[in-house]
Amino acid sequence: MALTEKTITDLIEVLSTGHLQVREASIIEKDGVVIAKTFHRFVITPGDDISDKEQKIKDIAAAVWTPEVLANFENK
C-alpha cells in the first residue's frame, strides 16, 4: 500500500484584463488510485515577477502580456 502526494498546475485561465488565474491540484493517491484531491487558486497580475513560476505559466504570460496589455493595466 503506497501513498503518494503530488501538486500539479491543472488549469490556467486568461482573463480579459490579462490576469492569469491559476489552479493547482494537490492529489493523494493510494496504489495509483486518486483518493483525495484539493484545489488552490491564485491570480497573477500583468507585469508581476513570475521568475519562480513553472515554465508553462511563463510561456502563457509571455504570449498574453503584450506591451498593449501591460500599458492598459498600468493606466487603470
3-class secondary structure, 6: strand
Rounded to an integer, what distance in angstroms lies between the CA atom of residue 51 and that of residue 68? 21
State the pLDDT at residue 41. 98
For residues 60 and 26, give the distance between their C-alpha atoms in angstroms, rounded to a whole number. 22
pTM of the model: 0.84
Band of pLDDT at residue 70, cut at 50, 70 and 90: very high
The burial of 76, by beta-carbon neighbours within 10 Å (0-12 exposed, 13-18 middle, 19 or more buried), is given as exposed
Percentage of residues in the chain with pLDDT exceeding 70? 100
Q: Sketch the domain layout of the chain as residue ranges.
A: 3-75
- Average pLDDT over the chain, rounded to an integer: 94
The pLDDT tens digits of the residues spanning 39-63 come to 999 999 999 999 999 999 999 999 9
